[in-house]
Amino acid sequence: MTRIVTPQQLREWIVDDGELALLDVREEGVFGADGHLLFAVCVPLSHLEIDILERVPRKSVRLVLCDGGDGLAARAAAKLDAWGYGDISILDGGVPGWEAAGYVVFRGVNVPSKAFGEFVEHQSGTPSVSAEELKAMIDGGDNMVVLDSRPWGEYRRMSIPTGIDCPGAELAYRVHDAVDDPETTIVVNCAGRTRSIIGAQSLINAGVANRVVALRNGTMGWALAGFDLENGAERNFPDVTDRGLALAQASAEIVAKRFGLKSITPDTLADWQAEADTRSLYVLDVRNPAEYEAGHRPGSVSAPGGQLVQATDRWVCTLGARIVLVDDTGIRARMTASWLVQMGWRDVAVLTGGLESGALETGPSRPPMPVITPGPLDTVSVTDLQNLIGDGAVTVVDFATSLEYRAGHIPGAWWAIRARLPGSLGKISGNGPLVFTSPDGILARLAAGDAEALTDRPIKILDGGTAAWRAAGGTLSAGFENMADDNNDVQYKAYDHTENIEFHMQEYLSWEIGLVELIDRDGTARFRHVPA
């Protein structure tokens, strides 16, 4: 049975130390633009089947749903109830009701992590340099190195000239091989602020002898200063030598003692897994995705350490849950754990020998999904769809993100959001058959099951989704061609906009800096500073 919870009661739940999964089921773009509760996790109704079991694994957890007061939470509650979630409440009045009760609403995404980065800079006094200072250092041939703390894909899109990609959790692990001169100044950058600050402070906490600074405002600050960014750079972190490993292990041990980190054995993890029906458990592998895919502990999820700190709500959606971090040497796991502990996560442990016991699985993460029995749905091959399009016999509807659709979609395809199909199906031209697609076809199949009750038009699924179309060499169109919905499904980064990019960069940086004051007003965060 679904209950209604008042804003006052929900706030008490947020701070009462019990487990709580607080989900906002609006689209991410709406979640970010219209505002949300600090610890609400965006799990859109459109993707609920795909995301829910990985993000909220315990079905008996206390679970609260939020929306914009528009009924989405009730629709989500009905699904969750059918899938066996047994303790569901809906926030009375949604986020507008929360705000009307006098509580703080936050805009943007990954807010707890972003605010935490600002907290770290304030409390630790993390040193930084401006874009102008860094440019002078590079032009002057100073003894310095730029380490970019973002994942490879982000780095290759745009980077600081001379910068070397070394994602967050890799910094303390690989720094002794990336920098062999203690007189070399190390500059850590990201796109904005958080990963620059956390990355630089990680090296400082690890006792690196070098001068370490963050690049203030990252690549955005560099661009706003009028300097050119590189595109497609190929400079990657070095392999770890025996010497580098020994130094990194010594640093990690210092960090573990300072922050009181807990380690557990595989036997303890097995005990915790046996208790997963009564305590929520997240087992996260913090190595690089390529290492994870080469071999990982069964049941673990790939969560590269730097990204986990940058966007903790992407992986851990239950306040008060147990978190177990896995890697091969303990270095990256301990460095990551030190940040989660400071963020206020109370039950974080590092698994020792986690990759040495038992057989390993290979390949990427495969999120589980609830058991759903859809009605029979016809599929169409790429070749058949090409012929049908050529004859003008079908209309294609794409359920990719708006950014994916803009980058490339089947020519003539309409774009739609699954959760809004009741209002958008009527906007799609024609009255003949519809062919639904999405990047891998999964979301399209789910959307087709919904649409059958909303339209008399025959519906088919593109076998293999748009990925199959691409693999077959199918033509793609770019841009917003046929839009059945507003493109507010995802949060656009500054670089995702096609105009006024400098305005969006400055707006983002101002937003990030202003989070500290909002966190203080809200009063539910438990960030803590541990003096050296």
pLDDT band of 357, cuts 50, 70, 90: confident
End-to-end CA distance of the chain: 49
Mean pLDDT, rounded, for 15-25: 97
Query: Environment class of residue 143 by beta-carbon count within 10 Å: exposed (0-12), middle (13-18) or buried (19+)?
Result: exposed
User: Which CATH architecture group holds 120-251?
Assistant: 3-Layer(aba) Sandwich (3.40)
Q: Does residue 377 have a pLDDT over 90?
A: no
pLDDT value of residue 120:
98
Same fold for the domain at 3-109 and the one at 378-483? yes
Longest dimension (CA), the chain: 72
pLDDT band of 369, cuts 50, 70, 90: confident
d(CA 12, CA 380): 51
**In one letter, which amino acid is 358?**
G
Mean pLDDT, rounded, for 29-56: 97
pLDDT in tens, 407-425: 999 999 999 999 999 999 9
Q: What is the 3-state secondary structure (H, E, C) of 137-170?
A: HHHCCCCEEEEECCCHHHHHHCECCCCEECCHHH
**DSSP reduced 3-state for 4:** strand
pLDDT value of residue 354:
82
pLDDT value of residue 487:
97
Q: Does residue 143 have a pLDDT over 80?
A: yes
* Domains of the chain, residue spans: 3-109, 120-251, 253-351, 378-483
The residues near 475 (Cβ < 8 Å, ≥ 6 apart) are: 410, 411
pLDDT value of residue 350:
98
Judge contact between 111 and 163, C-beta under 8 A.
Answer: no
Q: Does residue 138 have a pLDDT over 70?
A: yes
**CA angle, 405 then 407 then 488, to 5°:** 50
Which long-range contacts does 196-199 make (Cβ < 8 Å, 24+ apart)? 196/128, 196/149, 197/117, 197/118, 197/120, 197/121, 197/126, 197/128, 198/117, 198/120, 198/149, 198/168, 198/306, 198/309, 198/310, 198/339, 199/147, 199/149, 199/168, 199/171, 199/306
pLDDT in tens, 462-502: 999 999 999 999 999 999 999 999 999 999 999 999 999 99
Higher pLDDT, 377 or 279: 279
**Assigned fold of 3-109:** Oxidized Rhodanese; domain 1 (3.40.250)
Q: Does residue 373 have a pLDDT over 70?
A: no
pLDDT in tens, 73-84: 999 999 999 999
pLDDT in tens, 313-328: 999 999 999 999 999 9
Q: pTM of the entire structure?
A: 0.96
d(CA 404, CA 480): 10
pLDDT band of 367, cuts 50, 70, 90: confident
Judge contact between 214 and 200, C-beta under 8 A.
Answer: yes
pLDDT in tens, 423-433: 999 999 988 99
Q: What percent of the chain has pLDDT over 70?
A: 99
Judge contact between 73 and 2, C-beta under 8 A.
Answer: no
pLDDT in tens, 206-232: 999 999 999 999 999 999 999 999 999
Quote the mean pLDDT of the chain: 96
CA atoms within 13 A on the CB side of 169: 30
Q: Does residue 521 have a pLDDT over 70?
A: yes
d(CA 209, CA 248): 12
CATH class of 253-351: alpha beta
CATH of 378-483 given 3.30.2350.10, 3.40.50.10600, 3.40.250.10, 3.40.50.1370: 3.40.250.10
Q: What percent of the chain has pLDDT over 90?
A: 96
Q: Does residue 374 have a pLDDT over 70?
A: no
Judge contact between 220 and 150, C-beta under 8 A.
Answer: no
pLDDT in tens, 81-128: 999 999 999 999 999 999 999 999 999 999 999 999 999 999 999 999
pLDDT band of 358, cuts 50, 70, 90: confident
What is the per-residue burial (b if ≥16 Cβ within 10 Å, else e) of 296-305? bbeebbbbbb
